[in-house]
C-alpha cells in the first residue's frame, strides 16, 4: 500500500481561485514531479477550477484525489463529488475514477484525509491540464508529485514569475531565478517590511499586518521567520487564510 510515510507530508499548498476557471487561467506548476496539494472548493454544482503542471518525457505523473475525512465531504456519495479530468499534452483525457476510500492521517497539518483515487502514469513531455468540475458544494484536494522540494507556481500568462506573483514589491533585493534566501527573509523582519516563509515559499505580509482579522500582533510576530508551524497551528485546512496567503507569495525559498 502507498499509505503513510510522508506521501503527503509537505505538499506545498496551492489554493485554486474562483477565476481559475480553465487550465490556461489557473496556476502552472513548473515541475509536476514536485509535491503540491491543490485545494479546490465549490459552493454549487457546475463550477470549474483548473490548473496545469509541466512534465518531462518519462517523469512520474503522480496524482491523488483526497477529501478531508469530515462532514460534509465524507458523507457525500462519490457521484456528488467533483469530477477531475486530466488531459495530457497530446490531448488525451482521463476522468479520475473515485474507486477507493482509504483513511490517511497527514501529520504535518494534523488532518485526517480519505484517498478516493490514486493515479499514476509515465508522463509525456509538455503541460498537463487538470480540470475539476463540481456537482454541488464540496472541497477537495488534488495532490500532485512526490518530490519534497520547494517548487515554483506561476500565475497569469507572463513568463516572469517574480513580477506576476509579487503583489507588493519591496525595495529589498529581488529573487534570483533560484529563489529567495533565508537571509533575505531575515532582513525583512519588521512591520515596515515583513516577510515570512511558509512551506518553502516566501511571502510579503507587510500590507496584511493591519488587515488580519486575528490581529496585527499575530502577523508581526512572524516577520523575518519561518512561520510554517505558526500558520498551520492556527489555520491548517482553512480555505480563506490559505487563499489570502497565496496572494502575498513572492516565490520559492532557495534550498
Ligand atoms: C500569514 C499568515 C496568516 C494569514 C494569511 C492569515 C489569514 C487570516 C484570515 C483570512 C482570517 C479570516 C478567516 C475567516 O474570515 O474565515 C484570519 C483569522 C484569524 N487569524 Fe489569521 N492568518 C495568518 C496568521 C495567523 C497567526 C500566526 C495567528 C495566531 C497566532 C492567526 C490568528 C487568527 C485568528 C485568531 C483569527 C480569527 C479572528 C476572528 O475570527 O475574530 N492568524 N486569518
Could you give all domains of the chain from N- to C-terminal order, each with its CATH number? 12-144 (2.60.120.380), 158-252 (3.10.120.10)
pLDDT band at 10 (very low <50, low <70, confident <90, very high): low
pLDDT of 51 strictly over 70: yes
Least confident span in 81-95, 143-157, 177-191, 211-225: 143-157
DSSP string, the chain: ---STTTTTTPEEEEPPTT--STTTS-EES-TTB-EEEEEEESSEEEEEEEEEEE-TTPEEEEEEEEESSTTGGGS-GGGSPEEEEE-TTS-EEEPP----EEEEETTTTEEEEEEEEEEEEPPSEEEEEEEEEESSEEEEEEE--B-S---EE-SS-S-HHHHH-SS--SSPPPBTTBB-HHHHHH-BSSSSBEEEETTEEEE-GGGTTT-TT-HHHHHTTTTEE-HHHHHHHHTT-HHHHHHHHTTEEEEBP-
* Distance between Cα 216 and ligand 1 center (Å): 10
* Distance between Cα 212 and ligand 1 center (Å): 6
Predicted confidence at residue 85, as pLDDT, reads: 96
- Give the whole-angstrom CA distance, residue 8 versus residue 144: 9
Residues having CB within 6 Å of any atom of ligand 1? 205, 208, 212-214, 218-219, 222, 230-231, 234-235, 240-241, 244-245
- Give the whole-angstrom CA distance, residue 178 versus residue 241: 27
pLDDT of 227 strictly over 60: yes
Tell me what the mean pLDDT of segment 49-78 comes to: 91
Predicted confidence at residue 114, as pLDDT, reads: 92
> Who has greater pLDDT, 2 or 118?
118
Work out the mean pLDDT of the chain and round it to a whole number: 83
Predicted confidence at residue 169, as pLDDT, reads: 35
Predicted confidence at residue 1, as pLDDT, reads: 28
Predicted confidence at residue 129, as pLDDT, reads: 96
Q: Which atom of ligand 1 is nearest to the CA of 222?
A: 27
Tell me which residue has its CA closest to atom 32 in ligand 1: 214
List the end-to-end C-alpha distance of the chain, in Å, as a whole number.
31
Predicted confidence at residue 250, as pLDDT, reads: 87
Least confident span in 78-87, 99-108, 166-175, 187-196: 166-175
* Distance between Cα 214 and ligand 1 center (Å): 5
Least confident span in 83-92, 110-119, 189-198: 110-119
- The pick from 214, 224, 249 for probing ligand 1's pocket by mutation, whose C-beta has the most ligand atoms within 8 angstroms, reads 214
pLDDT of 255 strictly over 70: no
Q: Which atom of ligand 1 is nearest to the CA of 227?
A: 27
- Percentage of the chain exceeding pLDDT 90: 51
Least confident span in 70-84, 113-127, 160-174: 160-174
Tell me what the mean pLDDT of segment 29-41 comes to: 91
Tell me which residue has its CA closest to atom 19 in ligand 1: 214
Q: What is the pTM of this model?
A: 0.54
Tell me which residue has its CA closest to atom 2 in ligand 1: 231
- The pick from 194, 210, 213 for probing ligand 1's pocket by mutation, whose C-beta has the most ligand atoms within 8 angstroms, reads 213
Tell me which residue has its CA closest to atom 35 in ligand 1: 214
* Distance between Cα 235 and ligand 1 center (Å): 7
Tell me what the mean pLDDT of segment 92-103 comes to: 91
Amino acid at each position: 500500500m502507498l499509505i503513510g510515510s510522508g506521501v503527503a507530508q509537505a505538499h506545498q499548498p496551492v489554493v485554486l481561485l474562483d477565476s481559475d476557471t480553465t487550465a490556461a487561467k489557473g496556476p502552472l506548476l513548473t515541475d509536476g514531479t514536485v509535491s503540491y496539494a491543490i485545494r479546490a472548493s465549490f459552493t454549487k454544482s457546475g463550477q470549474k477550477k483548473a490548473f496545469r503542471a509541466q512534465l518531462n518525457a518519462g517523469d512520474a505523473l503522480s496524482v491523488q484525489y483526497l477529501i478531508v475525512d469530515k462532514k460534509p465531504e465524507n458523507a457525500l456519495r462519490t457521484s456528488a463529488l467533483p469530477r477531475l479530468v486530466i488531459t495530457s499534452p497530446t490531448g488525451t483525457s482521463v476522468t479520475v475514477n473515485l474507486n477507493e476510500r482509504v483513511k490517511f492521517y497527514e501529520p504535518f497539518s494534523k488532518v485526517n484525509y480519505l484517498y478516493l483515487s490514486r493515479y499514476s502514469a509515465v508522463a509525456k513531455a509538455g503541460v498537463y491540464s487538470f480540470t475539476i468540475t463540481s456537482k454541488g458544494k464540496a472541497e477537495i484536494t488534488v495532490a500532485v508529485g512526490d518530490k519534497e522540494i520547494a517548487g515554483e507556481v506561476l500565475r497569469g500568462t507572463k513568463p516572469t514569475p517574480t513580477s506576476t506573483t509579487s503583489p507588493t514589491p519591496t525595495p529589498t533585493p529581488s529573487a534570483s531565478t533560484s529563489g529567495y534566501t533565508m537571509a533575505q527573509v531575515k532582513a525583512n523582519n519588521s512591520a515596515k517590511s515583513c516577510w515570512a516563509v511558509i512551506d518553502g515559499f516566501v511571502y510579503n505580509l507587510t500590507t496584511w499586518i493591519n488587515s488580519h482579522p486575528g490581529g496585527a500582533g499575530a502577523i508581526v510576530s512572524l516577520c523575518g521567520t519561518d512561520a510554517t508551524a505558526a500558520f498551520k497551528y492556527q489555520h491548517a485546512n482553512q480555505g480563506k487564510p490559505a487563499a489570502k496567503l497565496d496572494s502575498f507569495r513572492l516565490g520559492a525559498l532557495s534550498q
